[in-house]
């Protein structure tokens, strides 16, 4: 759990604007690990200083993926294909 919290906290500088102000609405935990109360509560204690911690379980994540796939089948001309990752 320490490693996950450390990684989340390492991303905080990327959230700052030019003046150094950080305005973050939430830290969102998703996927299968979000089902573990022990993990989510531990992460709340460790990263809750950044922003409120919200938990979205895998069921909702899977529903969102299914909605996206259904939309792609209905509207294939709107699907974007990314061939290269750039910084």
Q: Does domain 2-78 have CATH number 3.30.1330.40?
A: no
The Cα–Cα gap between 37 and 81 comes to: 36
Tokens, residue 15:
């959230």
Lowest-pLDDT range of 6-15, 24-33, 36-45, 54-63: 54-63
Output the pLDDT for position 85: 65
Give 31's Cβ-side CA count (13 Å radius): 3
What are the tens digits of pLDDT across the range 52-87?
Answer: 999 987 677 778 778 888 988 888 776 666 666 665
| Closest C-alpha among 30, 33, 34, 27 to residue 11 | 27
Quote the mean pLDDT of the chain.
85
Residue 57 is given by DSSP the state: E
The Cα–Cα gap between 81 and 73 comes to: 14
For the chain, the structural domain boundaries read 2-78
User: Residues 29, 3: contact at Cβ < 8 Å?
Assistant: no
């Amino acid at each position: 759990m320490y490693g996950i919290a450390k990684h989340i906290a390492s991303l905080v500088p990327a959230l700052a604007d030019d003046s150094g102000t950080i305005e973050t609405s939430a830290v969102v935990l998703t996927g299968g690990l979000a089902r573990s109360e022990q993990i989510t509560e531990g992460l709340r204690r460790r990263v809750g200083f950044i922003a409120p911690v919200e938990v979205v379980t895998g069921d909702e994540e899977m529903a969102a993926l299914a909605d996206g796939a259904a939309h792609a089948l209905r509207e294939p001309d709107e699907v974007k294909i990314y061939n290269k990752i750039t910084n």
